[in-house]
Structure 1
Amino acid sequence: MTDIDERRLKVGVLGCGPIAQAAHFESATKARNAELYAVCDVAEDLLQRMAVAHGALKTFTDYERMLADPDLDAVIIATSDTFHVPAAMMALKAGKHVLCEKPIGISVEEVEELAEVVKRSGRLLQVGHMKRFDEGVQSAKAFVDSEMGAMLALKAWYCDNTHRYRVTDATQPLMVRSSAVKRPPSNPKSNLKSYYMLAHGSHLVDTARFLGGEIVEVDVRLRESFGAYCWFVDVSFASGALGHLDLTLRVRMDWHEGFQIYGENGSVLARTYNPWLYRSSDVDIFHEATATTTRVLGADGHFYRRQLEGLAASVLNGAPMAGADITDGVASVRAMVAIARSADSGRPVRLADVSGAL
């Protein structure tokens, strides 16, 4: 266990569903510089069980009442995607900092409106792209920024598999359910193309942007067959580097995720694991000058806890934000909408030209 800082961020979690139970409650109780101050959910049975299990000091069935608590510093928004933007806006207007699950929203217009609210609020909003807190990925980012020189090309892949629940059921806590939970107006899984892009494509897009920089255009092919979906995305980066993204669900093999980067002074090859294994990526960095390969070992693989600690460090100590901010969140949504438009039209689409939702 890490040492506990004397000064800690008081956090309230909105939503007691699976992602909160699997990731955010534990993160808030294990963080060195944050604490689980409050939980909020309309399902009282679920709320009380989670509060007792994780030691929250306060419980709320009304989100506005939680936000009105003067001792609350920040909220973690762990709800369905549809509720992300309105919940984040309410928190910011109440003077609270925000860590919101990815994707930050589902339409270009709503996330741009949220960006304006963030700007006016003077508060921090961090998007839950927790892979930025994978120490292996961070080692690749440091190499790209400091030693690699010009980037020639980046390839990245995210392929969920048919057997993933055998892994997650073994590593996650047994999920507690309630019939009283608040659900979105329509079932997100009724449109699997949209659901897969929002749930999984958001990770792939953010990893590509984190390592490769701004994406300006995408050219997409999509194939649907035997219940599987495969997006091959040719990417144009603002730097001039070439990119290729592979989002495939559900592959008949092991979880298959990683990236490869070709640069002027070296290269990177990474294998990323199912996040619920809490194992940092294996990232091999080849240094052209010394003809040697290096890899981070013994890395801290609790990405969800580390992202909360990153937000707390920014709020409490003024540390630069290490996670994805609202600008990254908007760019991610724009990229996903552009991918959808290109797949439908069969033509390249510039991110600056897209509007609407997935």
Structure 2
Amino acid sequence: MPPKESRLLRVGVLGCGPIAQAAHFEACTKARNAELYAICDVADDLRDRMAATHAPTCSYNDYDKMLADPQLEAVIIATSDAFHVAAAVRALQAGKHVLCEKPLATSIEEAESLRAAVNASGCTLQVGHMKRYDAGLQAAKTFIDGPMGQMVALKAWYCDNTHRYAMTDAVQPLMVTSKHARKPSENPKADLDRYYMLAHGSHLVDTARYFAGEIKAVDARLLNRAGIRCWFVDVEFANGTLGHLDLTVAVRMDWHEGFQIYGEQGSIIGKTYNPWYYKSSEVDIFHESDGSTHRVLGADGHFYRRQLEGFAETVLNGAPQTGADLEDGIASVRAMVAIAQSARSRLPVTLSDVAGPL
């Protein structure tokens, strides 16, 4: 890991559950320009265990007390989806910068309500679409924005697999739980259509937008058969690019995620790995100009650490925001709502016409 810089962003992590344990605590301790200043969780046993393991400067069982700490500069919101917006608003009102786990919200209106809080605070809000910090995807984006010319078509897929947990359990830390942890009033997994779209579809939608820009309309189909949910989504992008998205949970094969992009002066084929392997995507970029193919090799694959470093660079040094900003987070929620409405109605849906929750 790179050595720590002299000026570190003092970060507090809200929530000591699985995503904090698997990603954010380590990202804070390894980031070159940030530190794990504080952790917060209402479950005393879980919080004490994490404090003993990761050694933050401070540990809190009350979120407002953590936000009142004048030394705290930024918060990573690593809670259940239902708590994201309220926690973000409280942090912004306290003058703290926010890196919020995806999805930003579970309804369009809830996501849009953050605009006022962000504008009033003057703080940075970034959404945790960490795949934007995959070096393979970044190489593809550089080609798209430069020599590729006009994009013609994009196909992208995100297919979780039945053997996912046997694979990830071998590389993730032992997840510690507590019966005292705060849970949403409704079980997020009670509606699996909604749960899979929020958990997995948010990645797929943001990757598509990262490459091809704003989504204008969607035409979605959903099939639930043999315990497999499959969304096929035809996408109309605002720039005229044709798109097709495949979200399938869970395929009877290896983890299957990637994309193909066809452009005026070249094409791109990408294979993305399960994120917990911390392996950058294998991305082949074909240049029509000289008939050659290029691939990034040996890239830094700690997406969560790189995400935090980019966020800290914006907060500390005013660097341009390289991750998903507030408007990206809102647009992702809007696209998921449109896909869900299109799948239910079996009709095309224009994103500007949608409202409400997923």
Q: TM-score, normalised by structure 2?
A: 1.00
- Mapped to 2, the partners of 1:339 and 1:71 lie a distance apart of 42
What does residue 190 of structure 2 align with? 190
Shift of 1:119: 1.8
Alignment of 1:151-230 (within 5 A): 151-230=151-230
Name structure 2 gaps, 5 residues minimum.
none
- Mapped to 1, the partners of 2:28 and 2:110 lie a distance apart of 28
What does residue 234 of structure 2 align with? 234
What does residue 247 of structure 1 align with? 247
Shift of 1:246: 0.2
Letter in 2 for 1:308: L
- Could you say what secondary structure the match of 1:285 adopts? strand
Letter in 2 for 1:53: T
What does residue 315 of structure 1 align with? 315
Q: Deviations over 1:274-305 (max 9, x none)?
A: 00000000000000000000001110000000
Q: Deviations over 1:148-184 (max 9, x none)?
A: 1100000000000000001110010000110000000
Shift of 1:116: 2.1
Shift of 1:91: 0.3
- Could you say what secondary structure the match of 1:170 adopts? coil
Shift of 1:273: 0.1
What does residue 25 of structure 2 align with? 25
Letter in 2 for 1:78: A
2:27 matches 1:55: no
- Mapped to 1, the partners of 2:193 and 2:59 lie a distance apart of 36
- Mapped to 2, the partners of 1:119 and 1:232 lie a distance apart of 37
- Mapped to 1, the partners of 2:212 and 2:121 lie a distance apart of 30
2:119 matches 1:119: yes
RMSD: 0.5
Letter in 1 for 2:22: A
- Could you say what secondary structure the match of 1:342 adopts? helix
- Could you say what secondary structure the match of 2:152 adopts? strand
Shift of 1:7: 0.2
What does residue 78 of structure 2 align with? 78
- Mapped to 1, the partners of 2:217 and 2:119 lie a distance apart of 27
- Mapped to 2, the partners of 1:147 and 1:72 lie a distance apart of 43
Q: Deviations over 1:289-329 (max 9, x none)?
A: 00000001110000000000000000111111110000000
Alignment of 1:242-281 (within 5 A): 242-281=242-281
Q: Deviations over 1:122-150 (max 9, x none)?
A: 00001000000000000000000011110
- Mapped to 1, the partners of 2:94 and 2:352 lie a distance apart of 31
Instruction: Give the % identical residues.
Output: 68
- Could you say what secondary structure the match of 1:6 adopts? coil
Shift of 1:115: 1.9
Letter in 2 for 1:102: K
Letter in 1 for 2:9: L
What does residue 339 of structure 1 align with? 339
Shift of 1:120: 1.8
Shift of 1:200: 0.1
Alignment of 1:97-136 (within 5 A): 97-136=97-136
Task: Between 75-84 and 108-117, report the one with greater CA deviation.
Answer: 108-117
What does residue 2 of structure 1 align with? 2
2:302 matches 1:302: yes
- Mapped to 2, the partners of 1:52 and 1:75 lie a distance apart of 20
What does residue 149 of structure 1 align with? 149
- Mapped to 2, the partners of 1:115 and 1:157 lie a distance apart of 31
Shift of 1:107: 0.3
Shift of 1:226: 1.0
- Mapped to 2, the partners of 1:281 and 1:181 lie a distance apart of 35
Q: TM-score, normalised by structure 1?
A: 1.00
- Mapped to 1, the partners of 2:35 and 2:140 lie a distance apart of 30
Q: Deviations over 1:8-57 (max 9, x none)?
A: 00000000000000000000000000000000000001001101100111
